[in-house]
Amino acid sequence: MEQQPTTGARLPPRDDPRAAVETVFRLESPRVIAAVARVVRDVGLAEELAQDALVAALERWPHDGVPDNPGAWLTATAKHRAVDLVRRRETYARKLAEIGRDLETAAPPPEPTASYDPDDIDDDLLRLVFTACHPVLSAEARIALTLRLLGGLTTAEIARAFLVPEPTVAQRIVRAKRTLATRNIAFEVPYGPDREARLGSVLDVIYLIFNEGYAATAGDDLLRPALCEDALRLARQLAALMPKEPEVHGLAALLEFQASRTSARTDPDGVPVLLQDQNRRRWNRMLIARGVAALSRAEATATGAPGPYALQAAIAACHAHAYTYEETDWPTIATLYGLLVARTRSAVVELNRAVAVSLAEGPAPALEIVDALAGEPALRDYHLLPSVRGDLLLRLGRTAEARTEFARAAGLTANERERELLLRRAEQAGDRGDA
């Protein structure tokens, strides 16, 4: 399935301009920031100019109506203001020499037009993520800044994704912008050793952006498809850019496999559908084929043991190859998770291994794994820990305990759809206990 531009996706009615502005800006802000950053060479300033374009839209659209291509309107407006700003600076001559012909053609007509090709700025998105992942920033700051700029996540959403306090994330983002500006970091995709030094953070960022789209940390919807599309597009571009890097292909494979399930993960009303209940005929077989090909490239280019993304892709491939839930090769998945735990030392991965063990060996040994994770600081407020524990208790016939765990999980999630699902499971566990 060819990736379509997200401009206009899920827009409110055109007679509600303010809602349209907010929706479009949420979808298009990464592209607007990336396009403007190419002009001003400052990601913090680019974000401010994108916000200026948002203010302009809030002023204009209620009177003039929503443009036919609202994303193009925002991009053109922000770039126009960026060019005006550069021209006003005393350093205009130096900036003009750096930017060259690109600056001379960047200024739009007086009125922003709808002529717009999303493919024209995909390279800008890639430059943005590599710039935000510069080694002068800490690993935490790189990921937080890129999720903010490229993923369009709020500070609160990033904090929930990291399981850290919101003020901590806010400080990371402010300091990261200041560092990039004061160090005059080039807005570019680096080459050679510089590219390799940033690759790990870039892969982590793309993965986190996809995850936020695949299972939103907050809001009324389980999915944010625009984020999945951007992450998948970036992973494909990176694979083309770095064809000899196995982990790049591993990440691309993982996202292809995960994206293939999107249409089956919710019902027509947006209610989440559990993996065992999904209609696998709705899984996108073309994306699965792309995932298989990318995983093959990861294996062909690897010179040692598979990396974390290649291992996750292999796990996803096991699910993709099973035409029914019952045919899933859970022993192999449990083994792969064991290898992944050894590589990552991640409590979240260990929780996933417990689920696989429960289906390969039964709920009792899996519950032992889960109970051993109870004291992990990273999982203290993680709703999936009590959710998994509730499922295991339910399978063991301990319905009252299961109901308590599902209710606790519902209280921890900020996603309304997940909360509804968990409360429903708690109610069902209670009904089973009363029977």
**What pLDDT sits at residue 75?**
86
Residue indicated by tokens 């936020």: 212
Instruction: Compute CA distances 43 → 203, 347, 374, 428, whole Å.
Output: 20, 34, 40, 49
The pLDDT, as a whole number, for residue 340 is 97
Question: What is the average per-residue pLDDT within 122-130?
Answer: 78
Q: Mean pLDDT over all residues of the chain? A: 84
Span 321-371, pLDDT tens digits: 999 999 999 999 999 999 999 999 999 999 999 999 999 999 999 999 999
Average pLDDT over residues 281-301: 96
User: First and final CA of the chain: distance in angstroms?
Assistant: 47
Distances (CA, A) of 79 to 94, 100, 105: 19, 15, 11
User: Nearest Cα to 334, choosing from 371, 365, 309, 375?
Assistant: 365
- What's the average model confidence in pLDDT over 50-55? 87
Q: Does 98 have pLDDT greater than 70?
A: no
User: Could you tell me the pTM of the whole model?
Assistant: 0.70
The predicted pLDDT at position 9 comes to 41
Higher pLDDT, 110 or 52: 52
How distant is the alpha carbon of residue 266 from its chain centre?
A: 18
Contact 147, 158 (CB under 8 A): yes
Residue 113's pLDDT band (cuts 50, 70, 90): very low
Q: Look at residue 5 and tell me whether its pLDDT is greater than 50.
A: no
Res 356: pLDDT: 96
Greater model confidence, 8 or 279:
279
User: Is 112 a residue whose pLDDT tops 80?
Assistant: no
Q: What is the pLDDT of residue 334?
A: 97
Name the residue type at position 42. D
Least confident of 76-85, 389-398, 420-429: 76-85
Higher pLDDT, 320 or 240: 320
Q: 227-257 burial string, b = 16+ CB within 10 Å, else e?
A: bbbbbbbbbbbbbeebeebbbbbbbbbbbbb
Answer whether residue 382 shows pLDDT above 60: yes
d(CA 103, CA 95): 9
Q: In 150-189, where does DSSP find H-type helix?
A: 155-162, 166-182
Token pair of 42 as six digits: 């400052």
Other CB atoms within 10 Å distance of the CB of residue 395: 16
How many separate helices (H) and strands (E) can be counted in the chain? Answer: 20, 2
Residue 111 has pLDDT above 60, yes or no: no
Other Cβ atoms less than 10 A from the Cβ of 93: the count is 8
Confidence of residue 116 (pLDDT cuts 50, 70, 90): very low
pLDDT at residue 433, as a whole number: 62
CA distance 411 to 406: 9
Q: What percent of the chain has a predicted confidence (pLDDT) above 90?
A: 41
Using the predicted structure, report yes or no on whether residue 1 has a pLDDT greater than 50: no
